[in-house]
Every structure is written in structure tokens, then in C-alpha cells.
Amino acid sequence: MAKTKELSKDTRNKFVDLHQAGKTESAIGTQLGLKKSTVGAIIRKWKTYKTTDNLPRSGAPRKISPRGFKMITRTVSKIPRTTRGDLMNDLQRAGTKVTKPTISNTLRRQGLKSCSARRVPLLKPVHVQARLKFAREHLDDPEEDWENVIWSDETKIELFGKNSTRCVWRTKNAELHPKNTIPTVKHGVGNIMLWSCFSAKGPGRLIRVKERMNGAMYREILSENFLPSAKALKMKCGWVFQHDNDPKHTARATKEWLRKKHFKVLEWPSQSPDLNPIENLWRELKVRVAQQQPQNITALDEICMEEWAKIPATVCENLVKTYRKCLTTVIANKGYITKY
């Protein structure tokens, strides 16, 4: 039998008030849209115990004492990577023998569950401080300033299986049926590298990088694709260019090239992919590409170009409009990675 929703304390007290006002159980049930039996049970409890609160229920006592509960929650709070086996040993040393499912259920009642740890860029204290400094310095910048920034980055898109998570409905023991699997390829032969940029006015050119990118190739991309993108996006005078601190971006020759072109470059904190809104566009592109299910590199390349061109300018505009929220989140998270 399905578990029914528990009535609120206010509703139960209303039963009593209406009963004291002389209304019958049927009339109360009709007025509040509930069964007569439900109303009667609450009123009988009130008459017997002078309360509508839940009474202590029967059942086996919990194996983990309040003291043991505090101990294991304090442990996982300090060291989230603690295993259930470690917690079992800690409790056993304290005189309590329990199973792993008991520990899982105990922590779940506290809102804690075991999840795969996310992989994020390594942040050293100097990185954390630089991220905080950037967020605080730019927190009050007007939205118009961010609308005048051109964001850029590179990304890798896999041919099979890694662009998005997919779920399938299947029967037991059918996990290896071709229609229930995602084909994979050996490392290094099923992906392409892309470079692009965008502003609040829309996406810029999308370029496939067919060789290992170095400083010279990066400057060539900027010359042949970034400058036309900036022109096509019709940026206002004084627009700002953003790129991260990759060595080919910060190479002396690249800096000199940017200086000669009179580019104003946004000072950028290292290890901060979550601060670059183009990551959201890459995610959007990868989901779109995965839905098309390209079967070879040529198709992957063509679909990437087609889907990138379909991304509406409004998506780019909204990313820039909400950028202040991103900075606020970084500050609230004390400089650590907020999403990745």
C-alpha cells in the first residue's frame, strides 16, 4: 500500500477547532476535502492524549547511538573521502557493530549520500586568492562592461561516448545489446580540437585545430579568425579580449602581437575555467552534437560547425547578463571551483 502524505499540524488542529465548534466529523471532512475516518482518528487522539502531535511509534531501536551518529557525521564532514568500511571500524572500536547499509541509511537521513568525486583543476592557495581578487574587483562592474568583452577558448569534442551522459531503458542481462551500448574508440583517434570566441552579441567563428597548437599557430588563428569575428560581432570601441593563461597565450611573442594590435586584454586568474562563460557554450555544443550521433571524424567536424551556427545570440546574451552571479558564487565559495 502506498504511503499517504502526513497532515500538517495546522490541519490537525483545525479538525479540533471545528469539532469544538460543534461540527460533525462528516461535515469537517466535507469542508476540508478529507475522509471522515481521517478526521475521526485525529479527534479521537486529541480526546485521549490532549494533543494532535505524532506519538512515539513502535519499532526496533537504531543500532547507532546518538553519540555514534555524531561521530560518523563529524568524520565525513571533515574527510568526505572516508569509506563506509572506515566508519564501520570506527564504530566497532567504540563498541557498536553495524553493516555498511546501516551506515548508508544513517548518513542519508542527514542528507548525505555517496557520489562520484568531480574532477576539477588543481587550485593552489595562490590560485584561490587570485580568483577571489578577480571576483571582488569586478563584482560591481556594470553589465555594459561585460557586453564589451569577447570571450575565447579551446575545447576537445569526442566522437563517441563522452560528450554527454546517456541513459537507456533495458531489461535485465541486456546491457551488452548493441542498442543499449555507446561505442568507444581507442584514446587519441576519436576527437577534434576546436577554437572559438563569443560576445553578448553572439558566437564568433568556430575553427578546427588540426595540429598541435603552438604560439605561432595561435597567433595565426587570432589574425585570420578572431579579428574577423570581432568585426562581424560589431563590438563597440574599446572592446576587451579574454583568453586564459595557457603558455601559448602568455608567450612573449603573443603578448607582443596583442600589443601591436592594440588589444585590451582582460587580466585573468589561472585555473579558472568556471569563470569563462564560453564553457557553457561548449557544453551546449557538445549536447547538440551528441544528439546527432556522428559516426566518423568528418561528420563530427561538419555537425560541430552546423550546430555552432545554430546557437542563438540570445543564449550568448543571457550568459553575459548573468555573469555577476558567477562572480558572486565564486566569492561565496571562498575562491574555489564553483562548477566544472
Give the pLDDT confidence of 93-113 residue by residue, as tens digits.
Answer: 988 899 999 999 988 888 888
Between 61 and 284, residue with greater pLDDT: 284
Give the pLDDT confidence of 3-22 residue by residue, as tens digits.
Answer: 567 788 888 888 889 999 89
pLDDT exceeding 70 applies to what percent of the chain? 89
Sign of CA dihedral 239, 243, 245, 250: negative
User: pLDDT class for 170, splitting at 50, 70, 90?
Assistant: low
Between 115 and 169, residue with greater pLDDT: 115
The stretches of the chain forming alpha helices (DSSP H) are 9-20, 25-32, 36-49, 66-78, 84-93, 100-109, 125-138, 143-147, 215-221, 227-232, 247-250, 252-260, 278-292, 297-310, 313-321, 323-332
pLDDT at position 175 is: 66
SS3 letters for 84-145? HHHHHHHHHHCCCCCCHHHHHHHHHHCCCCCCCCCCCCCCCHHHHHHHHHHHHHHCCCCHHH
User: pLDDT class for 183, splitting at 50, 70, 90?
Assistant: low
Instruction: Look up residue 15 and give its three cell numbers.
Output: 479538525
Give the pLDDT confidence of 41-84 residue by residue, as tens digits.
Answer: 889 988 888 888 877 766 777 888 888 889 998 998 888 888 99
Name which of 302, 283, 282 is nearest 292 in CA terms: 302
User: pLDDT class for 163, splitting at 50, 70, 90?
Assistant: very low
Q: From CA 134, how far away is CA 142, in angstroms rounded?
A: 15
- Does 313 score more than 70 pLDDT? yes
Average pLDDT over residues 288-313: 93
Q: From CA 318, how far away is CA 332, in angstroms rounded?
A: 22
- Does 177 score more than 70 pLDDT? no
Average pLDDT over residues 151-173: 71
Between 123 and 136, residue with greater pLDDT: 136
Which range, of 42-56, 182-196, 325-339, averages the lowest pLDDT? 182-196
For residue 24, the number of C-alpha atoms closer than 13 Å in the C-beta half-sphere is: 4
User: pLDDT class for 257, splitting at 50, 70, 90?
Assistant: very high
Query: Which residues, in sequence order, are CB contacts of 118 under 8 Å at separation 6+?
Result: 340
pLDDT at position 142 is: 93
